[in-house]
Amino acid sequence: MKEDMKEHRKLTKLQYLVLYFVLYAFIGWLLETAYSFVVLGHFTKRGFLYGPLCPIYGWGAVILIQFLERYKKNSLKLFFVSAIIFSIFEYLVGFGLDALFAEHWWDYSADFMNLNGRISIFYSFIWGIIALLFINHIHPFFEIKIKKMVRKIPYIMQFYIVNGLILTISVDTIASIIKYLKVL
């Protein structure tokens, strides 16, 4: 009976959020890398971490899933709340990275209506549009795909995969922090 119960265990919401974080941080890294390649004409390492993840995209996705998905039925509210929240989030992350590591991962100084080069009205608008696309189309698509894949994997493997991802990201984050602190 106990063995039968173990086979029917499922990942928790927090464990799914870890999977979504990794997926969207990787997609963010791909988008940043592709954009950089198109603009510069060559591959450029993007993001803070050694690995192919841009955590700001992962955290953004988690914020959308956890706190803003409730506005799915009100597109105007979702757009404006997302534009404001992600502008604040982007500003705080940019400020934190500048303060801790004296590094600029983005600079909107040349953009119209920017605030200290960390945010601009254009990107605030973009974050609102991305939130609408993410909540209404992107996340529902990947949520179905991930849940379908996860169901095919025994729970113990799911558990090790999620915890392996947490460990890998933690080690990468610590190593990246050390790398940037040594540069100072």
For the chain, the domains span: 18-76+126-183
Burial state string for 27-52 with b = 16 or more CB within 10 A and e = fewer than 16? bbbeebbeeeeeeeeeeeebbbbebb
Q: What is the pLDDT of residue 1?
A: 45
Q: What is the pLDDT of residue 139?
A: 97
Strand segments, DSSP code E, in the chain are: 114-115, 119-120
Could you tell me the pTM of the whole model?
A: 0.89
- From the list 124, 102, 120, 99, the residue with the least C-alpha distance to 111 is 120
pLDDT tens by residue, the chain, 184 residues: 454 444 568 999 999 999 999 999 999 999 999 988 998 888 888 888 999 999 999 999 999 999 999 999 999 999 999 999 999 999 999 999 899 888 888 899 999 999 999 999 999 999 999 999 999 999 999 999 999 999 999 999 999 999 999 999 999 999 999 988 876 5
pLDDT, tens digit, 9 for 90 and up, residues 14-31: 999 999 999 999 999 999
State whether residue 63 is helix, strand or coil.
helix
Q: What is the pLDDT of residue 5?
A: 46
